[in-house]
Amino acid sequence: MKVGVMGTGAIGGYFGGLLALSGVDTHFVARGKHYRAILEEGLHIVSSQKTHHVMIHVTPEPDEIGPVDLLLFCVKSYDTDDAARLIEPMVEQDTVIISLQNGIDNQDKLIEAYGKEKVMAGTAFIEASIASPGVIAQMGNPGRIVFGELSGERSGRALDILHLFQSAGIDAELSSDISRVLWEKFLFICGIHGVSTLSRSSLGLVLAVTESRELVRGVMKEVEALAHQQGVKLPEDVVENAMALADGYHRNFKPSMLRDLEWRRLMEVDALNGMVVKLGRQLGIDTPLNHAIYACLNLENQKIANPVWAFQWEN
């Protein structure tokens, strides 16, 4: 099976790297310093368990890769529309595209571009980041992928992909209710990413203080209310499960959104807390905690995107 990875960040680099290490014909799309480092030195995956190094085929141009059987779509949510157009040379009649992004609507954009029959939804559970160009750092437990057909069917192609992942040593699960899984992950990251980024604090610090811990819980409760209104059947203890999951993370863990803020890169807040605010307005459900987080982080995004504008206002 020929695999393409669109977006060689923490998620694409980690899981795509494991596929390449196992001998799968894997091709990566990357840009900038990360691309140049991988091209010259290969991809390094560093974890507490083991360090891997693999020379891979990486290019900034998807048309150099050509059609693939499986495409792991791992770009930031705000790049989905542009990246969906760029992957066209990699998509043919039988190509399967799996979104492994944050958020709950990225697969809808891919369906709009390529049709429902080509798209599966998925999500990744992993503590990882780009430590430096060409280097993926992974903390805590090994990463895990949950994916599935939007119909819930355990199709032959889905089972083939499951076998591919597992044969590469990837902890993978084929879900018959991937929408529920996406909402559970959405609930988790809105709380964890939102509060950690707003407070500029590691996850351990956020959870160590009663007030910030309860803020995380409150943010999650707002997402839970939206899911129920949307007809998504979440477990009754979904918030407590999410808090328990967070407690199991490394205390020094910094969510990707916080790292983006620290490095003055655009954050995915529109697809996370901003989406909660948007859905809340549509459904007539108040989301004051998510609204406060979104208002502050959206301002930061505006400052990152328009530094001259920000300077003019502050001087």
Q: Quick one: CA dihedral 132, 170, 257, 87, positive or negative?
A: positive
What's the rounded Cα separation, in Å, for the pair 247 and 171?
20
Q: CATH 1.10.1040.10 residue ranges in the chain?
A: 180-309
Instruction: Compute CA 285 distance to the chain's CA centroid, rounded to the nearest angstrom.
Output: 26
| Residue 255 pLDDT > 90 | yes
Q: What's the whole-number average pLDDT of the chain?
A: 96
Q: What is the pLDDT of residue 206?
A: 98
Quick check: 140 pLDDT over 90? no
Per-residue pLDDT of 13-33, as tens digits, reads 999 999 999 999 999 999 999
The pLDDT of residue 306 is above 90: yes
Element (H, E) at 93: none
Read off the pTM. Answer: 0.95
Kindly tell me if the per-residue pLDDT of 275 is higher than 90. yes
Query: How sure is the predictor about 231, in pLDDT bands with cuts at 50, 70 and 90?
Result: very high
The token duo for 71 is 């495409």
For the domain 2-176, what is the CATH code?
3.40.50.720
Give yes or no for a contact between 6 and 74, defined as CB atoms under 8 angstroms apart: yes
Which regions of the chain carry the CATH code 3.40.50.720? 2-176
Q: Which CATH class is domain 180-309?
A: mainly alpha
Query: In this structure, what token pair is assigned to residue 137?
Result: 């750092």
pLDDT band per the 50, 70, 90 thresholds, residue 45: very high
- Output the DSSP codes for 16-72: HHHHHHTT-EEEEE--HHHHHHHHHH-EEEEESS-EEEE--EEES-GGGT---SEEE
Contact (Cβ atoms closer than 8 angstroms) between residue 96 and residue 120: yes
pLDDT more than 90, % of the chain: 93
Provide the token pair at 230: 């949307």
Measured CA to CA, the distance from residue 95 to residue 108 in angstroms comes to 17
pLDDT at 189 over 90: yes
Span 179-207, average pLDDT = 98
Q: What is the pLDDT of residue 281?
A: 98
Question: Which pLDDT band holds residue 310 (cuts at 50, 70, 90)?
Answer: confident
Mean pLDDT of 211-223: 99
